[in-house]
Amino acid sequence: MSTVKKTKSTAKKPAVKKPAVKKAAAAAPVAAQVTASDNGHGGAEGSGVRRRDFIHIATVSFAGVGAAAVAMPLVSQMSASADVLALASIEVDVAAIQPGQAIKTSWRKQPVFIRNLTPAEVEEASKVDVGSLRDPQTLADRTKPGKENWLITLGVCTHLGCVPLGAAAGEVKGEYGGYFCPCHGSHYDTAARIRKGPAPTNLVVPEFAFISDTVVKIG
């Protein structure tokens, strides 16, 4: 049975702010006050000056709220990025994965597919005319020398990020025998290359290396 060893624990994902809601709530009363001032007391010069001052102040205040609303998610993203980068690599013993089988694991909070291709699947992937592919890559480009049967990819569709089917037993593998993303109908072949549907590129191959004959380190 394959085992997954995480060298560090995953960190808690930071809360995501919703700036649009906050921004809309702040903008509404500002717009309403400016309109009331223009329509109700437009005669006196002094009132006109005060009105202009108010519009100026209101605009600055609005800009301030907008900048704060934009800055908060930026800070969150920067912190998420540092957090994600700090996560460790994983080591997976793939000895128990038989030809034709795949497992799902996770790395840096993303699903990862580890697949042991059958000789027929290796042949199927190798005979494809690479020039005809949307994202031209050979199977050798996506695997390690001497271990072309071990296909390791992120389980994240490159269209909009759904998790494709095909790694678990009994799941639909799509028209090209690899993975199928039912969200919008992307089909990947036995090298996890995009062959049909809206996904622009192949499933991503993460950085990985075999540190023994059966243990692979991802990351």
- Which segment (10-18, 20-28, 82-90, 179-187) binds ligand FES by CB under 6 A? 179-187
Min dist. Cβ of residue 162 to ligand FES (A): 4
Interface residue with ligand FES among 97, 152, 181, 191 (CB under 6 A) is: 181
Of the two residues 136 and 161, which places its CB atom closer to ligand FES in the complex?
161
Interface residue with ligand FES among 103, 112, 122, 199 (CB under 6 A) is: 199
Residue 5 structure tokens = 């060893």
Taking CB under 6 A as the rule, which mask of x and - marks residues 75-114 in contact with ligand FES?
----------------------------------------
Of the two residues 94 and 203, which places its CB atom closer to ligand FES in the complex?
203
Of the two residues 155 and 177, which places its CB atom closer to ligand FES in the complex?
155
Query: What gap in Å lies between CA 154 and CA 89, rounded to an integer?
Result: 14
Q: How far is CA 185 from CA 125, 158, 192, in A?
A: 20, 12, 14
125's CB contacts (< 8 A; 6+ apart) are: 117, 139, 189, 190, 191, 193
Query: What gap in Å lies between CA 54 and CA 51, rounded to an integer?
Result: 5
Of the two residues 111 and 198, which places its CB atom closer to ligand FES in the complex?
198
Grouping H, G, I as helix, E, B as strand and the rest as coil, residue 201 is coil
Query: What gap in Å lies between CA 141 and CA 89, rounded to an integer?
Result: 22
DSSP 144: B
Helices (H), 87-203: 119-126, 139-142
| Catalytic annotation, residues | 184
Note whether 174 binds ligand FES by CB under 6 A.
Answer: no
Q: Which residues bind ligand FES (CB under 6 A)?
A: 157, 159-162, 181, 183-186, 197-199
